[in-house]
Amino acid sequence: MAVVSPSQPRQLQPVEANRPVISVQHLTKKFGDEIAVQDVSFDVPRASIFGFIGPSGSGKTTTVRLLTGVYAPTQGAVTVLDRSPAQFSQADRARLGYMPQLFVLYPNLTVWENLNFAASLYGMSLFRGKRLKEALAFVELEEHRSKLARNISGGMLRRLSLAATLVHDPELLFLDEPTAGIDPVLRHKFWEHFRELKSQGRTIFITTQYVSEAENCDLVGVQNNGKLLLVDTPQGIRHHAYGGEMVDFRTTQPFDFQAEARLRALPFVRAKTVRTDANGMRIIVDQASTATPALMDWAQQQNIQVQSVEEYVPSFDDVFVELVRPEASHA
């Protein structure tokens, strides 16, 4: 196997560009009577980052295990790299990279030895030293290469796991909460590298509890209680959560109820509009860019002195809460 550096990505196997790398249809997994994943369907296009977001116990890891062939589905179908995971050959598996949620390598081996072990598992050439060094450099562990894994911090263990996942330059990556326990600076760097891998044509399926990381994904699947609530782009997720985009509308004088009723009656204003205080309202609209001038015109017609009108972009934490709220109240 040729030594491959991130700057010289290996040749990917030809796959039809329009066929999804991962396709999941009505996937269900039960453990006894307990349903871990229920009727989940989604596609992951090639060369994309698919974020799988959900609270602890929502079925994210089970889904990853179903996609990698660790678990067999109870119902439904999974296709990964045009093949069912149950039918994976050794060559198919060599195209995958998998980072489990916990550190599963060996505490009594050094950082370097663990990485070397992972490289060997994928049958990498004996002349792989350069590639190992690159992987260590990427996760900034070069200085710690001689330390035993049991003597490094939890964050370093995550970085070592990630290096072990990337060392054989996989085509499709399954990363189960790779940024858990990583400091914000390094987390940012991780995402930069994920984007770089994507730009090289690699596909990344990533789970995370950091909802804000959804921003970095091309597609986001929101999972709760084993059910996939929706799959969309980050913008689409926001739009879906609130029924549109949000505009913060503030006036110089307190806003009376008649004025509020007239504003709510405007055709581009959605029902979820809320009053934030006596002078302000957060208005849900179809599109913030067109709604902002329309609101200014309406205020002028109504002789309302406007202090500010600007688009409000909610955090993904808020978006996520908004999305799972109906589920939680239903439960």
The answer to the question of residue 321 lying near other proteins (CB under 8 A) is no
- Tell me if 175 sits within 8 A of 206, measured CB to CB: yes
- Tell me if 48 sits within 8 A of 202, measured CB to CB: no
The answer to the question of residue 108 lying near other proteins (CB under 8 A) is yes
Structure tokens at 261: 């009723």
Chosen residue from 106, 253, 264, 328 binding other proteins by CB under 8 A: 106
CA dihedral 318, 323, 325, 329 (to 10 degrees): 180
The answer to the question of residue 102 lying near other proteins (CB under 8 A) is yes
Amino acid, res. 17: A
Q: Taking the complex as a whole, how short is the minimal distance between the CB of residue 107 and other proteins, in angstroms? A: 9
Q: Taking the complex as a whole, how short is the minimal distance between the CB of residue 93 and other proteins, in angstroms? A: 4
Residue bearing tokens 């602890």: 56
The sheet with strand 49-53 has its strands ordered as 96-99, 172-176, 203-208, 49-53, 219-224, 227-232
Which residue number, 124 or 295, has a Cβ lying nearer to other proteins?
124
Chosen residue from 12, 109, 266, 299 binding other proteins by CB under 8 A: 109
Q: Taking the complex as a whole, how short is the minimal distance between the CB of residue 55 and other proteins, in angstroms? A: 21
**Count of residues in contact with other proteins, rule CB under 8 A:** 35
Stretch that binds other proteins, among 33-41, 109-117, 202-210, 259-267 (CB under 8 A): 109-117
The answer to the question of residue 33 lying near other proteins (CB under 8 A) is no
User: Quick one: 194 exposed, middle or buried, by C-beta within 10 A (0-12, 13-18, 19+)?
Assistant: buried
Structure tokens at 241: 């959560």
Task: Using CB under 8 A, list all residues that contact other proteins.
Answer: 1, 65, 68-72, 85-86, 90-91, 93-94, 96, 98, 100, 102, 104-106, 108-109, 113, 116-118, 120-126, 148, 174
